[in-house]
Amino acid sequence: MLLSMFFLIAGLVTPGLTQDVITDDAVFYGQSPPVYPTPEGTGTGDWADAYSQAKEIVAQLSREEKVNLTGGIFINSACSGIIPPIPRVNFTGLCLSDAGNGPRTTNFVSSWPAVGGEFRAKGVNIALGPVVGPLGRIASSGRNWEGFSNDPYLCGALAYQTVQGIQSTGVITSTKHFIANEQETNRNPENGVTAVSANIDDKTMHELYLWPFQDAVKAGTGNIMCSYNRGFVVTDWGAHHAGVATALAGLDMVMPSGSPFWAGNLTTAVNNGSVPESRLDDMVTRILAAWYKMKQEEGFPSPGIGMPSDLSEPHQRVIAKSQSNKDVLLQGAIEGHVLLKNDNGALPLKSPKLISLFGYSAKSFDSYTPGADGWNGGAESAASVHMQIAPNGTLISGGGSGANQPAYLSSPFEALSLRAYEDGTSLWWDFHSGNPQVDQSSDACIVVGNAFASEGWDRLGLHDDFTDALITNVASHCNNTIVVFHNAGVRLVDQFIDHPNVTALIFAHLPGQDSGRALVSILYGDVNPSGKLPYSVPRNESDFGPLQNATQPDGIYALYPQSDFDEGVYIDYRAFDAKNITPRYEFGFGLSYTTFNYSDLVVSLVDGADFSSYPSKPIIEGGHEDLWDQLVKVSATVTNTGSVTGAEVAQLYVGVPNGPVQQLRGFDKPVLEPGASAVVHFDITRRDLSTWDVVAQEWLLQKGNYQVYVGSSSRKLPLSAALQI
């Protein structure tokens, strides 16, 4: 077999100056054989009524009307995609819109809002999120910021809640991007080079990259970009490169238009029998079933209402943001801040008389005008490819289709100015100098930088020399230098973190419109920080090894780049644990203004639970029903041993035989007054303890010794117990 493959490759290469290059992709065919035809949607369970309604409508449609429902059209709208209406059957059409921050390319919305309600108010039928792929395999990937975490359990748990929250408002979620969309480099064919091939083994696929999608499907997501589920399947924008094969394989909708491969060609394919009429019916049934499942036929706003393509033109104003969401927005911004260093009690600030503020991310950006793209992380950063920072102002979001345009912005400078006015504090500032003049009598010097990332390219590195030098220059003249980063992903800090005058470090991440208000409330101790890192911060970029940067076209694969996921499930903290690499700040780490103690670990098997090797109950949304059965109960006591009220994220990790040292499998967050204790409880399911059996094609519960750990981070786990199954 290997010899045959060698001769096949040899016949498909072109001699070059230095080495041969594969010039025909036939060699790659057959490695992932297709399965035709795709299974027809069943519409069981709580989808039954929606499927029944959809089939009644499909039976009334002409073939051309059915085809029109499978591809978008271009009209004067800021919707990312539009499916046209069919008035005679009372179908009003669909507006598909980005994205994770909230409604994009429109006005009168919030950043990091209660997104479902705002999408609905704007007539968005399908919200193009949440993002669970990229998971975060590549540390410098440009779109990591759009997701939740590079841990599949955490990513899946948050995706589940997001899907349920948005869909509770009647808006369909489009969980994306299925699958292994782990880098921006060569994500699309370009300049004669094909899109990168992500080559993943079956075990890694299930245990890492499919895991959060499984949670989203269990939550009932009405759409996946792209996959199989009770809802329907849509392409990413401009990612349709085949015709009949994609229809037979299960694609239901093409965006943003019907593409050259569908539209009239799909009608022709059905007419000549290349695509069965039953497959076309299934496409349309799936689309309409999601519409009915969310009850969008009952009083849903007109698709894309108040969302013209040009916001500067006269249009109907639809106010989507709600005053009732203000507290939610601020609280979300606060909880995204992670306190990583706090030496000598630098924070919270104690009645400072003079504060000096430095850094380009401390102020509002220079202009803020309506437009199709809106706020994209700094206008010049979005336009200048591969910039590592957004130097034009406060970074509240990464760039690309995941960003949106909030109605206002609170910058750190504005919020600090208000606080200084109230307290009678003097405030000096210099936003742009790399080596600013520093008043050495300052009670605190605050440096605010950022780390920018965007759809469309991958980051060139995980730190930048300008900001590192700025921090060092300020710290050399100020003995209480507090560093804040608005960071769209991992940001290395070893270039300055051990400077004795750098007393505190906060990763604010991407806090949205309440950036300044959230930061000031933490700096002054109005609230106690409780955020934890959803990734690890290593000491050096080299600690990531080959997972630091995206795969490039190279060697014989210069025209057909190949990304081999040879590391298996060992990314981020799993890899650092396996390789005995000590990060600067580990996954799950985060400080508080108080301290906590862990005690009284109790681990017990659930009475009457089924510990057979494989699940046996029927498959429902999310997999076999018994994958979600509780097998083990865990509890522990968390005590606030400090002097102020605080919240602690208690974390449960499990060591599975023949797997990573430990994997996150639960978390809880009690709020405790000084001296108070709370018992945290964790339910461990069959799925949490299982590994993927590539032979049986099932989740396997192994017999053997398991380890259970509870603590405050992946490297601070004071409680542990053995578990025999």
Q: Which residue has the tokens 């083990």?
A: 632
Spatial contact of 483 and 505, defined as CB atoms under 8 Å apart: yes
Strands 444-451, 619-620: pairing is: unpaired
- Judged against a pLDDT cut of 80, whether residue 110 lies above it is answered with no
Question: What's the pLDDT band for 375 if we cut at 50, 70, 90?
Answer: very low
Please write down the HEC assignment for all residues of 497-539: CCCCCEEEEEECCCCHHHHHHHHHHHHCCCCCCCCCCCCCECC
339: nearest Cα among 533, 587, 537: 533
- pLDDT of 75 reads 73
- Which positions are catalytic? 236
Q: Which domains, and CATH codes, for the chain?
A: 43-186+196-293 (3.20.20.300), 324-527 (3.40.50.1700), 594-724 (2.60.40.10)
Enter the tokens of residue 169. 């408002």
Enter the tokens of residue 29. 């065919």
Q: How far apart are alpha carbons 701 and 654 in whole angstroms? A: 13
Residue 36: count other Cβ atoms within 10 Å of its Cβ. 12
Side chain identity, residue 335: E
Strand partners for 428: 356
Q: How far apart are alpha carbons 149 and 165 in whole angstroms? A: 19
Q: How far apart are alpha carbons 552 and 560 in whole angstroms? A: 10
- pLDDT of 310 reads 58
Average confidence score pLDDT of the chain: 89
Side chain identity, residue 117: G
Q: How far apart are alpha carbons 302 and 124 in whole angstroms? A: 8
Q: What is the mean pLDDT of residues 482-503?
A: 98
| First-to-final CA distance of the chain | 40
Within 8 A by CB and 6+ apart from 448, the residues are 357, 358, 359, 360, 361, 362, 394, 412, 484, 485, 486
Side chain identity, residue 429: W
Most confidently predicted of 195-199, 395-399, 400-404, 587-591: 587-591
Q: What is the mean pLDDT of residues 272-299?
A: 94
Per-residue buried b or exposed e for 420-429, using 16+ beta carbons within 10 Å of the residue's own CB: beeeebebeb
Convert the pLDDT of each residue in 529-584 to its tens digit. Answer: 999 999 999 999 999 999 999 999 999 999 999 999 999 999 999 999 999 999 99
Spatial contact of 183 and 134, defined as CB atoms under 8 Å apart: yes
Local structure of 16: helix, strand or coil:
coil
Convert the pLDDT of each residue in 459-478 to its tens digit. Answer: 999 999 999 999 999 999 99
What share of the chain has pLDDT > 70, as a percent?
A: 88
Spatial contact of 375 and 395, defined as CB atoms under 8 Å apart: no
359: nearest Cα among 461, 480, 422, 451: 451
Convert the pLDDT of each residue in 696-709 to its tens digit. Answer: 999 999 999 999 99
Dihedral sign for Cα atoms in the order 662, 663, 668, 671 = positive
Enter the tokens of residue 507. 């990763």
Q: What is the mean pLDDT of residues 94-110?
A: 65
- pLDDT of 671 reads 98
Q: How far apart are alpha carbons 261 and 277 in whole angstroms? A: 17
Q: What is the mean pLDDT of residues 588-610?
A: 98
- pLDDT of 398 reads 87
Residue with more model confidence, 431 or 310: 431
- Judged against a pLDDT cut of 90, whether residue 204 lies above it is answered with yes
Longest dimension (CA), the chain: 82
Spatial contact of 585 and 176, defined as CB atoms under 8 Å apart: no
- pLDDT of 112 reads 46
Side chain identity, residue 564: D
Residue with more model confidence, 565 or 305: 565
Spatial contact of 364 and 431, defined as CB atoms under 8 Å apart: no
- Lowest mean pLDDT, pick from 96-100, 249-253, 434-438, 453-457: 96-100
Spatial contact of 379 and 483, defined as CB atoms under 8 Å apart: no
Residue with more model confidence, 364 or 361: 361
- Judged against a pLDDT cut of 80, whether residue 308 lies above it is answered with no
Enter the tokens of residue 211. 């895991």
Question: What's the pLDDT band for 102 if we cut at 50, 70, 90?
Answer: low
Strand partners for 723: 706
Q: Which residue has the tokens 């924070």?
A: 347
Question: What's the pLDDT band for 456 if we cut at 50, 70, 90?
Answer: confident
50: nearest Cα among 255, 278, 232: 232
Spatial contact of 716 and 628, defined as CB atoms under 8 Å apart: no
* Degrees to nearest 5, angle at CA 175 with 491 and 152: 50
Q: Which residue has the tokens 């080495």?
A: 19
Spatial contact of 369 and 561, defined as CB atoms under 8 Å apart: no
Q: What is the mean pLDDT of residues 306-326?
A: 65
Q: What is the mean pLDDT of residues 257-269?
A: 78
Enter the tokens of residue 375. 């706020």
Q: How far apart are alpha carbons 181 and 142 in whole angstroms? A: 11
Convert the pLDDT of each residue in 226-245 to its tens digit. Answer: 643 445 566 677 777 778 88
Enter the tokens of residue 500. 């004795």
Spatial contact of 341 and 502, defined as CB atoms under 8 Å apart: yes
Question: What's the pLDDT band for 37 if we cut at 50, 70, 90?
Answer: confident
Q: How far apart are alpha carbons 686 and 632 in whole angstroms? A: 9
436: nearest Cα among 472, 473, 468: 473
Side chain identity, residue 472: T
Q: How far apart are alpha carbons 293 and 163 in whole angstroms? A: 14
Convert the pLDDT of each residue in 379-438 to its tens digit. Answer: 434 445 567 898 888 998 888 888 777 778 899 999 999 999 999 999 999 999 999 999
- Judged against a pLDDT cut of 80, whether residue 264 lies above it is answered with no
Please write down the HEC assignment for all residues of 116-153: HHHHHHCCCCEECCCECCCCCCCCCCCCHHHCCCCCHH
Q: Which residue has the tokens 């508080």?
A: 592
Q: What is the mean pLDDT of residues 133-152?
A: 96
Q: How far apart are alpha carbons 125 and 128 in whole angstroms? A: 10
Spatial contact of 111 and 513, defined as CB atoms under 8 Å apart: yes
Spatial contact of 353 and 443, defined as CB atoms under 8 Å apart: yes
Q: How far apart are alpha carbons 476 and 473 in whole angstroms? A: 5
Q: What is the DSSP string of 596-661?
A: EEEEEEEEEEPTT----SS--SPEETTEEGGGG-EEEEEEEEEEE-SSS-EE--EEEEEE-TTS-S
Q: How far apart are alpha carbons 45 and 67 in whole angstroms? A: 28
The pTM score is: 0.92
Strand partners for 451: 487
Local structure of 595: helix, strand or coil:
coil
Residue with more model confidence, 46 or 34: 46
- pLDDT of 210 reads 97
Q: DSSP label at 190?
A: B
Secondary structure element (H or E) that encloses residue 420, with its range: helix 412-423
- Judged against a pLDDT cut of 50, whether residue 6 lies above it is answered with no
- Judged against a pLDDT cut of 50, whether residue 16 lies above it is answered with no
Q: How far is CA 68 from the centre of its chain?
A: 31
Residue with more model confidence, 306 or 399: 399
C-alpha distances (whole Å) from 601 to each of 640, 655, 657 are 16, 16, 21
Whats the size of the chain, residue-wise? 725
Question: What's the pLDDT band for 190 if we cut at 50, 70, 90?
Answer: confident
Enter the tokens of residue 690. 């299982």
